[in-house]
Homo-oligomer: A and B are copies of this chain.
């Protein structure tokens, strides 16, 4: 039960702790014979270095970079950023620090700059919320070659050797969304409102959600006519016009779904034109929660972005501290269903 130290090993091998240390860190300058002797004893005694002593002696603090889109308060990525604070707490005593690097989610150029900035800071690990497939892969190559571990949140990308992924399964979330919208009964018409700036570059999760949604409807509500409407999030006036035009043409539609976090943008219109609707959206932005509590929004499918960030950071920290072997894990997280009666303590 006694802890075995580097000195014990030195004594037992008849070498000095300097030599043992060189062996432990593969720092060379050790004869084949001594190397073997040390390795044997280490294995025999099951030596494990004392983390505290090691970190104390080393002394520097490592930083984990968080690469996410710019975010104003109350938006999705703002919530995600709160996970950083949570993680900070537990990490500070381990001299691990986190730092955000934000990019414009509509500009690949800005993403590239953020990546460069991350590299300059020589981080010990990186958490990435990827929006640009190609650029992200290039970046990951670089991280890989520098031996910097990294994890994805939100969206998973094919990249060589990421450490972990935390997010919800996009396809299934669309499926679930449909189940909540219809509450099990077949419906006749539904409207998908797509609130996004760039029709061409829809985010991966949004597309997958729609696919899941469609499949549920095909299976459980086959006769349903599904329409869709594009809305520019930057232009509130146009929003009203678009909705107005739509409901003039199709007054019978009272099932509405939005596949990203921006359902709150159509809430003012809906409240100005009350009706008995079912409205389902995503994510627990405070604006969405408020609409949920007022009853304008029927249900929200929420992920826990703070948790995702927190866990991703944690997994990197583990890797950094313990230098455990890389062990890729995909952690699909739970999809929360929020209705007005369980939204309060969220």
Q: Which residues of A contact B (CB under 8 A)?
A: 50-53, 55-56, 89-90, 93-95, 168-169, 172, 175-176, 179, 183, 301, 314, 318, 321-322, 332-339, 341-342, 344-346
Q: How far is the CA of A341 from the CA of B175 in the complex (A)?
A: 7
A339 to chain B, nearest CB (A): 7
Identical copies of this chain, number: 2
A342 with B176: CB separation less than 8 A: yes
> Is the CB–CB distance between B336 and A334 below 8 Å?
yes
A176 to B338, CA, bound (A): 11
Question: With A172-B345, A318-B89, A344-B172 as given contacts, are A339 and B336 in contact (CB-CB < 8 Å)?
Answer: no
* Contact indicator B335/A337 (Cβ below 8 Å): no
CA–CA, A322 to B89, complex, Å?
11
Known A89-B318, A94-B93: A168·B52 in contact at CB below 8 Å: no
Asked if B90 and A314 make an inter-chain contact with CB atoms under 8 angstroms apart, the answer reads: yes
Q: Are A345 and B318 in contact (CB under 8 A)?
A: no
CB distance from A140 to the nearest CB of B (A): 25
Q: Which chain B residues border A301 with CB–CB below 8 Å?
A: 342
**Shortest Cβ distance from A82 into chain B, in angstroms?**
15
Chain B residues, Cβ within 8 Å of A55: 52
Are the C-beta atoms of B176 and A51 separated by less than 8 Å?
A: no
Contact (Cβ within 8 A) A345 B332: yes
Please give me the residue from chain B that is nearest to A184 by CB atom: B183
Of all chain B residues, which has the CB nearest A58? B52
Docked CA distance A95–B314 (Å):
18
B56 to A53, Cβ gap below 8 A? yes
Contacts beyond the supplied A50-B56, A172-B341: 18 A-B pairs with Cβ under 8 Å: A51-B93, A52-B52, A52-B55, A52-B56, A53-B56, A93-B94, A93-B321, A93-B322, A172-B342, A172-B345, A183-B183, A301-B342, A332-B345, A334-B346, A335-B342, A336-B336, A336-B337, A337-B342
For the complex, what is the distance from the CA of A183 to the CA of B180, rounded to whole Å? Answer: 11
